[in-house]
Chains A and B, each alone.
Chain A
Amino acid sequence: MKGGDALMTESLNVNVDRRDGLAVVYTEGYINNQGGEEIARVAYKLIDEGYKVLLLNLGGTKIVNSIGISILIEIIEKMIEIEGKLGFCCLTNTIEKTFHIMGLAQYAPIFPDEPTAVAQLKG
């Protein structure tokens, strides 16, 4: 006995807002292997464009897995390598807790909201 039609499909959407030396990357969806690679692709492109301050606004993301985290760590390492700055904002409690445990927060500060993050990263 089987079910009928299927329901929703999710993928990660990434949008960028470039502002005076700082780029805000908005994510919406699952930060897994595919999602993480998409964020990395966008982040490295921004670095190539000369942006050294990135803010990842994860307000539209409710789930992240270990592969996604490992890719985010690589982006952090890249930012450290170019002596840039990377921050996160608008995280769910679960994701924020995960980032603290995984050590991401040690190298990329976590902010509660975007205005605070922008002010701190620009300062």
Chain B
Amino acid sequence: MTSGITPRLWRELLVLLQDEAGERLAIERLLELWCQTRETRSAGLYLERQGVLEQQAAVGEHLPEILDAGALERGELAELEIESLRLPGGCLLWSPAGNPFVSPEEADDPLPVLLASALKSFRLKQVLKEQQFQVNYRVVELENLYDVGLAVAGTLDLDRLSEEILLRAMSLLDARRGALYVLEDGRYRLERNFGGEAGRWFAEEDPDLAVFLSGYGEGPADLLPGAHHLLSVPIVFESSPRGMLVVGDKESRRAVGPFSSSDRRTLGLFANQAAIALENARLHLRALEQERLEREMHLAAEIQRQILPKGAPQLPGCQLVGWNRPAREVGGDYYDMFPTQGGRMGLVVGDVSGKGIPAALMVSTLHSALRLLLDQTGIGPPLLEKLNKHILESSMPNKFITMFVAELDPESGNLLYVNAGHNPGLLLHQDGRIEELGSGGVPLGLFPGSRYQAREATVGPGDLLCLYSDGITEAESVDDEELGTERLCDVLRSHCEEPALQAVLDAVRVSVEEFSRGRPQGDDQTLLLLRRDLTP
């Protein structure tokens, strides 16, 4: 058998091989020559990659574009009336015509060698192309790592950020599936998943998960249900775990497989970047939440200011002033001054246990109930008993209110009062004597059916009545000493003859401030002063 390669064909091939497009034509020319000399109906050159034969060039009748390399060994091609010749790195296939085939090894024929050489050229090009692809994709990976620290860090929306991180991680590792978990209250909560189902949460101490995050074991079965290969890394910020990234089933062109140790390192690097971005977003969210809370707190403080008296009502023959300074933006102290029947004046000072919003809410409840019940009962034990019932029903357990309620007849100076577990009122008489207006019952909200006793005192001309909350007498100095009732009485004695009652109040306020200078205010402070004029 002759090869059929004439000097003219050699020249033609040499011309064709001068450029890339011509190379394929040259190979097709060789395949045509194969068909002519072997009298076959078709011929195709196949490159073998990963157990698969891929057609690179073919002429004549249809030949399969792709087939399993094992089919050659198993003799399956005979059923398709296809003959084969193994070449280094691939094979030559052809469908024979009716003439018997003579093995090329038996003939002095350079054609198979030329085709093998062509196949090698295909392989080299393929390798070059794949390497170029890998180099480019490595650049994509680096860009992704870089971007996740920039573009991703620029995203403060936690939802968008989570999606961005997960999608980039999956893309980076050619993962078919993935999930991002955030660590909250001792468990990993599913924040985002893609490509398939994912378990909603896992306990942080889950032994399978802990081992898996360390790079060993197979991980919990329901992490990505149905995935055959898993890889997970923790998201750690400043040595503190914040979440985890999970990817499943690394894709190749023909199947899915396990992730490599290099993939683990890449995902770990990515998770480090993601941790910073997630932390930024978390801090941003927290700042927004703080801002919202502050706005709400301002609003609550404004509402509480509306509850407290805006000024003292006029009371003939008397001066009346009140003051309140909460330890926080809102407080649990309450005071009120209001005219009652017969030209009398109602006075209230209350102190809710605790501070802040919960106490302020109870103050609001107390204020509403007091004003509603006053019309029914007037000032006296029934008012306190009804208030006790209301507070008991509407407040949390262990919450209570101490309260001093009084009603003054400005003409006679008669003071009717009920003290429900509050600090004793101080009545500073003209002769310097101080009368303590003690308790007539337990604080409100402690026990059902509590009873209260009304007591009376006389506020003589020039006498000064001082009602206050324990934030005044329990104000602490830097030496952890309390101001105490004695010091309060001393201040009252020293300033009780100030013409303006406001000056007495200011003196107490300043004394408290100076005493506790350098210490944060520990409790709400309330002061209510009433003084009968010396002369009518």
Contact = CB atoms under 8 A, between A and B. Distances in A.
Contact of A63 (B132, B147, B170): B170
A7 B225 CA distance: 11
A2 B222 contact: yes
A30 B195 contact: yes
Interface stretch (A13-21, A50-58, A95-103, A115-123): A95-103
A3 B206 CA distance: 11
Main secondary structure of the interface of B (DSSP, over half): mixed
Contact of A7 (B143, B144, B190): B190
A32 interface: yes
A75 interface: no
A38 to B, nearest CB: 14
A6 B202 contact: no
A18 to B, nearest CB: 26
Contacts of B206: 1-2
Interface stretch (B75-83, B133-141, B486-494): B133-141
B268 interface: no
B266 to A, nearest CB: 13
Contacts of B196: 6, 9-10
B341 interface: no
A6 B253 contact: no
A98 B170 contact: no
A62 B136 contact: no
B225 A63 contact: no
Interface residues of A, number: 30
Contacts of A6: 193, 196-200, 225
Contact of A98 (B140, B197, B220): B140
A103 B136 contact: yes
Contact of B197 (A2, A9, A102, A103): A9
Nearest to B132: A103
B171 A64 contact: yes
Query: Max chain A CB contacts within 10 Å: which of B194, B201, B203, B206?
Result: B194
Contacts of A48: none
B201 A3 contact: yes
Query: Max chain B CB contacts within 10 Å: which of A4, A30, A66, A101?
Result: A66
What 6 A-B pairs have minimum CB-CB distances, sorted nearest first? A6-B197, A3-B199, A3-B200, A1-B203, A63-B167, A3-B201
19 contacts: A2-B199, A3-B200, A3-B201, A6-B193, A6-B196, A6-B197, A9-B196, A32-B174, A33-B251, A33-B253, A62-B163, A63-B171, A65-B170, A66-B174, A67-B251, A67-B252, A70-B133, A101-B139, A101-B140
Interface of A: 1-10, 30, 32-34, 62-67, 69-70, 73, 93-94, 97-98, 101-103
Given A6-B196, A6-B198, A102-B133, 11 more contacts: A3-B222, A6-B193, A10-B196, A30-B170, A33-B251, A63-B194, A65-B175, A69-B137, A73-B133, A94-B147, A101-B140
